[in-house]
Amino acid sequence: MVYSGYEKDGSPGILISFEGGEGAGKSTHINFLAETLEAQGYEVLRLREPGGTAIGEKLRDIVLDIGNAEMSDVTELFIYEAARAQIVSEAIKPALERGAVVLCDRFFDSTVAYQVFGRGLARDFVERANRFAAQGVVPDRTIVMSCGRDAHAGLERATKNGFTDRLESAGEAFHDKVNEAFFVIAGEDPGRIRVVESADRKSETSRAVFSALVDIFPWMAGLLADGDFFAKIDVGHYGNKHESAGQPDA
């Protein structure tokens, strides 16, 4: 199911989703982009899925709790969709209506990658659930960040602190399917989705992210021409900072 035929409902805001397998480095580049947009005068809301609201964060804890190993694949799907319905109603739609830029760490493409390609649920069913929960909201641009089709490097990066959540513990074979899924999804909707391969230096990856957004923010062309602008991401700290309604930054 390709979402590129969706027409925006006239809300003045911009939604940019970031997707990718485990350890792809989404948080770093979301935060660097947010800082840059804020410096240009935009209101920016950083969110994550599942989460982003008080209810969503509780659902996140449930679905990622490694102690919930008995959770069925369908239950997992419905928890993600419930969290999505809440974040769209409570946070994303109001922000878009007031003209903000929303940067969301994961949205419905992750559900297709993880629950369809990874878990094996029927794609048509999952797509219908996605559309119902998203309530007509579709990203203006989706950045798929990739460490490659092999999940090993990304999983090592994601679990380097010694903590493994329920999804990260699903095994490399599962995550190889998920990583491949993002390439398939990107190929199905090239108008919306751009793939950014993680480079050795964060500055190179960030430049690629901005290049994928220059058609939406034409002023970024000036930053891309600046040889020094992206160097600061190599020395600065842009870790996990997600703004959540009723929740502190993660």
127-140 residues labelled b (16+ CB within 10 A) or e (exposed): bebbbebbeebbbb
Question: Could you give the 3-state DSSP secondary structure of residue 6?
Answer: coil
Single-letter amino acid code for the residue at 88: V
Note whether 229 and 223 are within 8 A (CB): yes
In a domain, 87, yes or no: yes
Q: Which domain holds residue 82?
A: 14-234
In a domain, 247, yes or no: no
Instruction: Please state the pTM of the whole predicted model.
Output: 0.88
Q: How far apart are CA 90 and CA 162, in angstroms?
A: 33
Q: 94 pLDDT exceeds 60? A: yes
| pLDDT tens by residue, 12-62 | 999 999 999 876 788 999 999 999 999 999 999 999 999 999 999 999 999
Mean pLDDT for the stretch of residues 199-223: 95
Q: Torsion angle of alpha carbons 33, 37, 43, 49, nearest 10°?
A: -10
In a domain, 240, yes or no: no
Q: How far apart are CA 30 and CA 36, in angstroms?
A: 10
In a domain, 2, yes or no: no
Question: Could you give the 3-state DSSP secondary structure of residue 117?
Answer: helix
Confidence at residue 2, expressed as pLDDT on a 0 to 100 scale: 43
Note whether 76 and 45 are within 8 A (CB): no
Count the domains in the chain.
1
| Across 5-9, 54-58, 233-237, least confident range | 5-9
In a domain, 208, yes or no: yes
In a domain, 244, yes or no: no
Q: How far apart are CA 65 and CA 120, in angstroms?
A: 21
Q: 84 pLDDT exceeds 50? A: yes
Tokens of 7: 């027409």
In a domain, 245, yes or no: no
Please report, for the domain that includes residue 230, its CATH number. 3.40.50.300
In a domain, 32, yes or no: yes
